[in-house]
Amino acid sequence: MRLDSTRQETEGGRQKGAGGRRRRHTQDPASHNPPIRHGILALPDEASPMAARPHQFISTPDTGVSPLSPEWHVRRRFARRLRLLGIPENLTGWSVLDIGAWHGYFSFECERRGADRVLAVDRFAWDRFGMTEFLAAHQRLGSRVEYQHVDVHELDVEAIGQFDLVLLLGVFYHLRNPLAALERIARVTKRLLICETHVLLPFIHERYPLVSFFPGDERTDEQTYDFCGIPTMTALTEMLRFTGFDDVEIVYRPSFRYWKKFVALVTTRPQSGRGIVHARPGPPRRQETGGRSAENA
Ligand SMILES: C[S@@+](CC[C@H](N)C(=O)[O-])C[C@H]1O[C@@H](n2cnc3c(N)ncnc32)[C@H](O)[C@@H]1O
């Protein structure tokens, strides 16, 4: 099955502002697994098993192996994430940038919620193993979501404009240079950034602005949680404020936090869990809520 990619892939330099509609095909020379040939998008009939079942992905992300999880498990997990993230139900009139979109689940969901424009960007996974799922779902859904190979460290407001909603889901802990990336993200965020990431849960000093470092993203034998850098919730919120998000609201803290802190004590190894933050440029609109978690939701 084929799809003309010239309709879909946008080139930043040609597009000013979130509402821009000019598109041009760009083939990424750095792509290791290019799905685009001669301007035609070849869909992966025979490629990965995930391509055949585009919504059955992800069990151990970032290993490059992509084993399939049972469908019920994936559905439950993503339904829960959607519930916790707090993406506005009605996105009519909003433009959306999904950074690190990978399979595109959240890009397609924003399109389903009526967003005027959705741009999905990714780099690492799309260059290696992960674009087939996105493209298969894109075609299956008849989607108008635009996509570009862009590294978040190279996001350029001049090239892609600003977006009402920016999603940074499961990406922060991969960032080689988080502050520089957040500065770029702040420039392209018009209204709301939703950042979901692993946050660090040490036994003590959880409220101190700590960020772990593992060269995890550089290694092929990556261990669980040995991602590049995982911030404590305090580090995350302070970094967001420092880079231009004046209004930072914690909407979710890791579940089973105290159990994990106990494990950290026993194993002398900090644990981690999901944290979700809503960040807005401009002056604070409300007091920080402290977030909710499975223990106190
Ligand atoms: C754990 S996946 C998250 C996928 C999806 N956002 C989700 O939440 O289900 C992390 C994604 O971030 C992408 N990523 C990592 N570093 C990146 C970078 N510097 N620039 C753009 N994308 C990046 C990876 O390629 C991968 O697709």
pTM: 0.77
Q: What is the pLDDT of residues 2-31, one digit of tens each?
A: 333 333 343 333 333 333 333 333 333 333
Burial of 214 (0-12, 13-18, 19+ CB in 10 A): middle
Specify the pLDDT at position 280. Answer: 97
Do the domain assignments include residue 285? no
Specify the pLDDT at position 219. Answer: 54
Confidence bin at 63 (pLDDT 50/70/90): very low
65-69, 214-218, 255-259: range with highest mean pLDDT: 255-259
Q: Ligand 1 center to residue 62 CA distance, Å?
A: 9
Do the domain assignments include residue 116? yes
CA 179 to chain centre: 16
Do the domain assignments include residue 295? no
Do the domain assignments include residue 242? yes
CATH number reported for the structural domain that contains residue 46 in this entry? 3.40.50.150
Do the domain assignments include residue 291? no
Do the domain assignments include residue 296? no
Query: What total of structural domains would you count in the chain?
Result: 1
pLDDT at 264 over 60: yes
User: Residue 78 and residue 105: Cα distance in Å, rounded?
Assistant: 9
Q: Ligand 1 center to residue 250 CA distance, Å?
A: 21
Specify the pLDDT at position 120. Answer: 98
What is the atom index within ligand 1 of the atom nearest the CA of 61?
A: 1
β-pair partners for 276: 196, 252
Are the C-beta atoms of 3 and 41 separated by less than 8 Å? yes
Q: Containing domain of residue 106, as a range?
A: 2-280
In a mutational test of the pocket of ligand 1, which residue from 80, 135, 171, 274 has the highest number of ligand atoms less than 8 Å from its CB?
171
Do the domain assignments include residue 255? yes
Q: What is the pLDDT of residues 49-60, one digit of tens each?
A: 444 443 344 433
Q: Whose CA is nearest to atom 2 of ligand 1?
A: 170
Do the domain assignments include residue 265? yes
Closest CA to 74 of 89, 86, 61: 61
User: Residue 136 and residue 43: Cα distance in Å, rounded?
Assistant: 6
